[in-house]
Amino acid sequence: MAIKVLVVDDSSFFRRRVSEIINADPRLTVIGNATNGKEACEMVKHLQPDVITMDIEMPVMDGITAVREIMRIAPTPILMFSSLTQAGAKSTLDALDAGALDFLPKKFEDIARNRDDAVDLLQKRVAELAGKRFYLRRNSSLASSIKSASTPFVRHTPAITAKVMATPNTTVTSTAGRALTGSAMAGSAMTPSMPFHFRASGKKYQLLAIGTSTGGPVALQKILTQLPANFPHPIVLIQHMPVTFTAAFAARLNNLCRIEVKEAQDGDILRAGVAYLAQGGQQMMVDGRNVGARLRIIDGGDRMNYKPCVDVTFGSAAKVFNDRVLSIVLTGMGADGREGARMLKANGSTVWAQDEESCVVYGMPQAVAKAGISSHDLPLDRIAECILIELGLS
C-alpha cells in the first residue's frame, strides 16, 4: 500500500510541484492538498495521512500553529519546507519544537546540486518519515513533551536513585518513569515499568562528541538540557544543518542549557562545560594536543556529502584524544559517523548509538551498530543519564 501524503502550502505552484515529485515515486501518493494550516488540521482528521509536508508562512493558520494542533489531535510525521534565512531558521526550529520531525529548504536548488538529486532526497525523506506515524500516535504526549523541553535544565534534572549513584563498574538498575520525567519520556517506547540497566566502564575521558542528522535538533536539546553547568569536559556537536541555521540553533540551545553552547569558530580552544556546534557548510576538526586542543573550521569541500561531516570531526578527535573520547551517534539518515566512530574505537575510545525505537530515522546509529562499533545502543530518554553515570557525575 502506497504511503499517503498530505501537501500543505498556500502557493498553488509549489503544491503542484511537490505533488508531482511525490506521485512520481511508486511508494508514495498524494491524497490531498491544503492551502493553510486550518485546512490541514481538518483534512488530517478524515484523510489520516502517513506524512504531511508543511509550509511555514501561510494565511489563516501558519505552519507552526498547525504542527502543534496536529500533534494534539492526530500526531503525524511532518516534513517542513523552510527558507534558508535567519528568520526561516528560527521558524523551522520552532516547528521542530512543536513536533515536526524534519525539514528541507523550500528552494530545490538549495537541497542538492541538481534537480534529480533534490527530487530523490525529497522522496526518500517522505518515505523514511512515514514509518513514524504509528510511533508518534503511540507516544501521543510527544508534542507537549517537546514543548516542555524548551524550559531550563532545572525542570529536567534526573531523579537519580541510590543505585544510579553507584561507583564505576557497578551495574545500575533504575525505572524509566522514576528516573526521568517530562520531556525525557518523549521519543521512547519504553513503559514506566521497564527496567533499565547500565554499567559504567570506569574509563577516563577528556571529550564528549555527538553526531546526528534527521531528528537531531530535538534529540540534542533533550540531552544537553540535562547536563550540569560544571560538566567537566568540552563537547563537540555535529548536526547536519544549513549554514544559516547553526548560529540560531546554538543560540537556542545556549538559552535552554546550563552548559554554554556556541557555534564553533576557527581557533576556539576547547574548554570544559562548553559545547561547540559545527558550522553549517563547513568542516570542524579537532587540532593540537589533548591539553589545549583547539578547533579548526575549514571549507566544506565540494566532494563531501555532508557539511559538516561527523566522520571528519570524529576522526580528528581520535587522533588528538586517542582513547579519551565518549562519542555518541544519534538519529539521522545515511551512515555518516560510522568511519569516524570506527577510528575512535580503534584508538580505545567509547562509542554509543541511539536505539532504533527512539530514532526519527534509524540510519546513522544503525550503521554504527551493524558494524559492531557501538558498545551500547541506548534510548534517547536515557542517554543524558548514562553520560552522567559514565563520567562518574551521578
Residues designated catalytic? 213, 240, 336
> Would you state the cell numbers that stand for residue 133, as one nine-digit string?
506515524
DSSP per-residue letters across 91-143: HHHHHHHHT--EEEESSHHHH-SSHHHHHHHHHHHHHHHHTTHHHHHHTTTHH
SS3 state at 203: coil
The Cα 238–Cα 209 span in angstroms is 8
Among 260, 266, 293, 291, residue whose Cα is nearest residue 278: 266
With cell 548536526, the residue in question is 239
Angle at 305 between CA 121 and CA 317, to 5 degrees: 135
User: What CA–CA distance (Å, rounded) separates 335 from 6?
Assistant: 29
Q: Is 24 exposed, middle or buried (0-12, 13-18, 19+ CB in 10 A)?
A: exposed
How many CB atoms sit inside 10 A of residue 61's CB?
17
Residue 389's Cβ-count burial label (10 Å; 0-12, 13-18, 19+) is buried
3-state secondary structure of 157: coil
Distance of CA 281 to the CA centre of its chain: 17
Q: In angstroms, rounded to a whole number, what is the distance separating the alpha carbons of residues 92 and 107?
A: 15
Q: Which amino acid is at 367?
A: A
